[in-house]
């Protein structure tokens, strides 16, 4: 077990978390999608100027390891309770697409008109391939997850 510090929080890395943290460190397939199969056993930090995709990768790792402290550091207050109820390894071997940095991502939400982005995520859900979006808003100079889903 290793420890890493992310935004001032020390997180214990288990083997599941190490796979998720490899996503943060920028491991990617030829098409740019993050894949846990390229996992490294080193820890990574989420910088204060992390991109929406970096934050989404960290969010996936935190959900998969059910690390509620880590989740709290990258989600808006109104999304904390929903994010923390996701089961361990919910996203499994998720693949993230390229960021859609389009302020219309927030249309129809509490973040309409703000700096928002969406990161597509594909994952296996009990044998069925799902494609969702992780929605982020820039608040106080940092990206934070405000929702997820397929519509």
pLDDT of residue 27: 37
On whether the pTM is more than 0.95, the answer is no
Q: Which domains does the chain have, with CATH numbers?
A: 2-41+49-149 (3.10.450.50)
pLDDT along the chain (151 residues), means of 10: 40 35 36 35 63 94 89 93 89 92 84 94 89 94 93 58
3-class DSSP string for 41-104: CCCCCCCCCCCHHHHHHHHHHHHHCCCHHHHHCCECHHHHHHHHCCCCCCCCCCEECCCECCHH
| Element of type H or E holding 121 | strand 116-125
């Amino acid at each position: 077990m290793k420890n890493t510090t992310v935004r001032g929080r020390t997180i214990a890395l288990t083997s599941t978390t190490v796979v998720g943290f490899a996503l943060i460190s920028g491991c990617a397939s030829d098409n740019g999608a993050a894949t846990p199969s390229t996992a490294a056993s080193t820890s990574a930090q989420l910088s204060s100027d992390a991109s929406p995709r970096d934050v989404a990768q960290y969010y996936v790792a935190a959900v998969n390891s059910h690390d509620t402290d880590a989740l709290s550091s990258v989600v808006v207050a109104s999304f904390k309770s929903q994010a923390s109820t996701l089961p361990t390894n919910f996203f499994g071997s998720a693949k993230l697409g390229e960021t859609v940095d389009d302020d219309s991502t927030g249309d129809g939400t509490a973040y309409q008109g703000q700096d928002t982005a969406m990161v597509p995520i594909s994952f296996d859900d009990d044998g069925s391939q799902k494609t969702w979006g992780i929605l982020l808003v820039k608040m106080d100079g940092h990206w934070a997850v405000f929702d997820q889903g397929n519509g």
